[in-house]
């Protein structure tokens, strides 16, 4: 048996995701992805709770009408990774909290 050295960086390829598009002017949103409705709520709640106490992000917010946020959940280690175009984590998390309230009521 030939053994190969493992890379010190582990790549994560198996994930579920949700893409969020939020229009701040019209208050319209669209959520798509590979998570069912229960999974979307669970990932949003878990991600938001994980951001609590992370400190203030003093990066300026991007000014736009439509913001896009992608949350990827890696079941193998329960990591949630966010990509976003808000420019600022506070704006990102505010949008996520607002949408969580809208989809759970």
pTM of the model: 0.84
Q: Measured between alpha carbons, how far is 59 from 89 in angstroms, rounded to an integer?
A: 8
pLDDT tens per residue, the chain (105 residues)? Answer: 443 444 344 445 699 999 999 999 999 999 999 999 999 999 999 999 999 888 888 999 999 999 999 999 999 999 999 999 999 999 999 999 999 999 998
CA angle 51, 31, 46 (to 5 degrees): 25
CA angle 62, 64, 67 (to 5 degrees): 85
Q: Measured between alpha carbons, how far is 69 from 58 in angstroms, rounded to an integer?
A: 19
């Amino acid at each position: 048996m030939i053994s190969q050295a493992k890379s010190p960086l582990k790549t994560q390829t198996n994930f579920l995701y949700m893409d969020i598009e939020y229009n701040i002017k019209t208050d319209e949103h669209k959520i798509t992805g590979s998570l069912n409705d229960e999974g979307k709520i669970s990932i949003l709640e878990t991600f938001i709770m994980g951001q609590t106490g992370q400190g203030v992000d003093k990066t300026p917010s991007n000014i736009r009408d439509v913001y896009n946020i992608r949350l990827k959940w890696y079941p193998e280690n329960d990591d949630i990774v966010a990509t976003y175009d808000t420019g600022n984590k506070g704006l990102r998390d505010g949008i996520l909290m607002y949408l969580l309230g809208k989809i759970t009521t």
